[in-house]
Amino acid sequence: MLVGSGHRDGTSQYRRLPTEGEAVARVLLVEDERALLRALAMNFAARGFEVIEADTGSAALAAAAGREPDIILLDLGLPDLGGLDVIRGVRAYSRTPIVVLSARTDSSDKITALDLGADDYVTKPFSIGELLARVRAVTRRVSRPEPVDVVRVGAVVLDLVRKTATDPDGGGIHLTPTEWRLIEALVQEPGRLVPGRELLTRLRGSADHVDRSYLRIYVAQLRRKLEPEPGRPRHIVTEPGMGYRFQP
Ligand code: CA
């Protein structure tokens, strides 16, 4: 059952009444294109989310503080405060996951958004399936699942505990300690964009003064060992200028 209520402060809310024992995630949708906002709200409500809507940056900040959403989906181009200001405002007090809805083909705002603490982004136009996948990847990270012990990268099976990589014929593939650290960081959070800075920090202890090509070299080595077609990677995916994503 859906019940809705309008609010004069620029936000409105649809609430799905949870059945007993069911955890309902509360999503704050921040978007000034009304048609898109309505479509997103209906899609998330239909999938069991409790939905809070905001169509301005100031309404978003008020809703983020007052309603304590579990995740925030944030348009960057808003009429009053920019989306980047909303990220700054929320990150001043909260680690609530933020997925940016970006209309820009220029990636500089997306990079700034990630630097300010956004967790991921989708570029408009996006499918609801793509957006839901991002939301799942980001919320999985926050809910801290049990670490994965065995994972498949294409046809290669990685045992992260024993540190063995096995090809389909049962042959062993040798990965260096650095390659293990890198692939572990990626496969533990399938679908999540892992920023380059975070990966460099894992490999080198810090991302400062480290050449980005360092990361590219190790990723290329991993692809040669794990990807079915290293030249057309399907599982270790580059997000240009931002980082890498593991697609199972
Ligand atoms: Ca907009």
Tell me the CA end-to-end span of the chain in Å, nearest whole number. 35
Residue 2 CA to ligand 1 center (angstroms) comes to 27
Residue 198 CA to ligand 1 center (angstroms) comes to 29
Q: Is a pLDDT exceeding 50 seen at residue 77?
A: yes
What CATH number does the domain containing 222 carry? 1.10.10.10
pLDDT at 189: 84
Residue 27 sits in the same domain as residue 108: yes
Residue 78 CA to ligand 1 center (angstroms) comes to 5
Q: Is a pLDDT exceeding 80 seen at residue 12?
A: no
Residue 156 sits in the same domain as residue 233: yes
Residue 59 sits in the same domain as residue 115: yes
Domain tally, the chain: 2
Burial bucket for residue 173 (CB in 10 Å: 0-12, 13-18, 19+): middle
Domain containing 46: what range? 2-143
What CATH number does the domain containing 87 carry? 3.40.50.2300
pLDDT tens for 169-222 read 999 999 999 999 999 999 988 888 999 988 998 888 888 887 878 899 999 999
Residue 126 CA to ligand 1 center (angstroms) comes to 14
Mean pLDDT (whole number) for 75-100: 93
Residue 99 CA to ligand 1 center (angstroms) comes to 14
Residue 137 sits in the same domain as residue 194: no
Residue 128 sits in the same domain as residue 156: no
pLDDT tens for 110-149 read 889 988 999 999 999 999 999 999 998 888 776 665 677 8
Beta bridge partners of 5: 13
Cα→Cα distances 139→43, 69, 98, 144, Å: 18, 12, 10, 9
Residue 155 sits in the same domain as residue 172: yes
Residue 119 sits in the same domain as residue 168: no
